[in-house]
Amino acid sequence: MQTRDTIELKPENLKVVSKVTPTAKQIDDLLFAFRVVKHVKSNAVIICKDGATVGIGPGQTSRVDSSIIAVRKAGDRAKGAVAASDAFFPMPDGLEVLADAGVNAVIQPGGSKGDNDVIITADRLGVAMVFTGIRHFKH
């Protein structure tokens, strides 16, 4: 049995882990994206821009596949957008897909053995990244 996911994040709950700090507008979109991603079947990646969801990568067995689908759905709207992942990125490949499409800020729970490599990749790509410490899970 699964309990209801009623967590509401606030900006002060976010931990910036990248060298690039997200802007206030990005924080708003990141929090919105993290609220949306909890409603999509895990493992999900969501792309949002200007308070709207523009790409959804739902329920794949691999985070990189979810990122590819979200980018494909967003198209050009991914440029300058943010992304949310309902679980950590175990490797940098999903982040690289998002950044290559123009996503410039990402919110995710963190907590992977691969966090350090993902953070190094975010810094190399100039992507702002925040950790929430909260894993959404919808099955």
What is the CATH number for 117?
3.40.140.20
Q: Kindly give the pairing relationship between strand 52-57 and strand 82-85.
A: unpaired
Residue 54: inside a domain: yes
Crossing angle between the packed helical segments 93-100 and 115-125, to the nearest 10 degrees: 20
Mean pLDDT across 30-57: 92
pLDDT(30) > 80? yes
pLDDT(52) > 70? yes
Beta-carbon contacts of residue 14 (< 8 Å; ≥ 6 apart): 27, 30, 107, 130, 131, 132
Q: Which domain holds residue 69?
A: 14-131
Task: Tell me which residue of 95, 110, 81, 84 sits closest to 31, measured CA to CA.
Answer: 84
The encoded tokens of residue 135 equal 């894993």
Q: What is the pTM of this model?
A: 0.92
Which 8-state DSSP code applies to residue 78?
G
